[in-house]
A = this chain, B = another copy of it.
Amino acid sequence: MLKKNYILSPGPTPVPERVLLAGAQPILHHRTPQFEKIFAEVSESIKYLFQTKNDVFIFASSGTGAMEATVANLLSKEDTAIVVVGGKFGERWEEICKAFGVNVVRIAVEWGDVVSPVQIEEAIKQHPEAKVVLTTISETSTGTVSDLEAIAEVVKDTDKILVTDAVSGLLATPLKMDEWNVNVVVAASQKGVMLPPGLAFVAIDEKAWRLVESSDLPKYYFDFKAYKKKAPKQTPYTTSVSMIFQLREAIEMIKEEGIENVWERHRILADAVRAAIKALGLELLSKSPGNIATAIKVPEGIDGLQLVKVLRDKHGAVIAGGQGKLVGKIIRIAHLGYMDKFDMITAISSLEMSLKELGYPIELGKGVRAAEEVFMREGV
């Protein structure tokens, strides 16, 4: 039977047809006034996504490129970074620091747990030499969201720079860069921003910029100073013209919906999935589950890799498995980006049928019912 493909993973996420087609417009040359007008508009309107008045640089790269850019532009040889490591993307900060010769003070957090502001405070006290605190607002690998607002509260009166990887978190969970005093926010296109992968973003404030001025780590393609010099109408190297068209369209959609409504939509979708999982007698991995992706422990007796395969190949539901040390142990249902309630119903329904097929004792429809109850209660 005809089977559609449902992307229910935490990135890449589905791209709205409006945005896909915006990318099919004829190319404009990136150094013409016609394109400069669009790029300047996007450079300004993208600030809304970060809730900031600061510069947001746009790179042709994946999110990892923007993470590397942040380390290479803020730090200098032999500098020290406090790094929160509670999953694969915390590990990535650590790996990048090591690749660039930056000393790492590691705050190890159990995968699925969150760092407490007190831990950050203590690390800062014990390591006054540290220049930055590298965090992950939404640890995609575990579905866990940190209390970045509280973390920012303990960092803001120090001389440390608070950086957060919001690649999967942006727009799916509240993040108010300026109000909260977050100094650097890293993000990418293929998650909450509802674009294909290929663009990455770094929002940076004045406090962080002082580190950029003195940084001596090698960089060229990602050199913030070169981007600053060309802002807001151009980039130093050729930007992804088609994706800028798409970004303009996506920001327009987000503005139409309103960022608070976007956050709230993600909260409701996540609540519905969590209710379904509970109703099905399954267990969440995260001790602080966020609204980006729900990580569910694969139940005893079920092969997690097989479950992902059945979901995908039998039902067309692309639900992510585990990463790193969680391979085979969890699945992750995303409620991220261009998703509505029936995407969640599809996810839960496909999970019910897949578990049943694999012989797990489950009552069909029970999870869906719980999700529907949430939607009815929320009036959506």
Contacts and interface: CB of A to CB of B under 8 A. Distances in A.
A12 B27 contact: yes
A72 B7 CA distance: 35
Given A96-B220, A99-B219, A238 B65 contact: no
Contacts of A72: 218
Contact of A15 (B20, B26, B67): B26
Interface string A207-234: 0000000000111110100000000000
A11 interface: yes
A197 B244 CA distance: 11
B99 A220 contact: yes
Contacts of A101: 218
A318 interface: yes
Given A61-B61, A95-B220, A197 B239 contact: yes
B26 A23 contact: no
A146 B241 CA distance: 29
A150 interface: no
B9 A27 contact: no
B12 A238 contact: yes
Interface in A293-322: 312, 318, 320
A21 interface: yes
Contact of A62 (B60, B67, B188, B218): B60
Contacts of A238: 11-12, 62-64, 188, 190, 197
Interface string A94-114: 011001110000000000000
Residue from A12, A14, A101 with most neighbouring chain B CB atoms (10 Å) = A12
Contact of A220 (B23, B100, B241): B100
Nearest to A69: B221
A30 interface: yes
Interface residues of A, number: 58
A240 B26 contact: no
A198 interface: yes
Given A32-B318, A64-B221, A96-B220, A241 B196 contact: yes
A243 interface: yes
Contacts of A61: 59-61, 65, 221
A238 B318 CA distance: 16
A60 B26 contact: no
A13 interface: yes
Q: 3 tightest A-B contacts by CB?
A: A198-B240, A196-B242, A64-B237
17 contacts: A12-B29, A14-B27, A15-B26, A20-B24, A20-B25, A23-B196, A27-B190, A27-B196, A60-B65, A61-B61, A62-B240, A67-B221, A68-B221, A196-B243, A198-B198, A198-B242, A218-B218
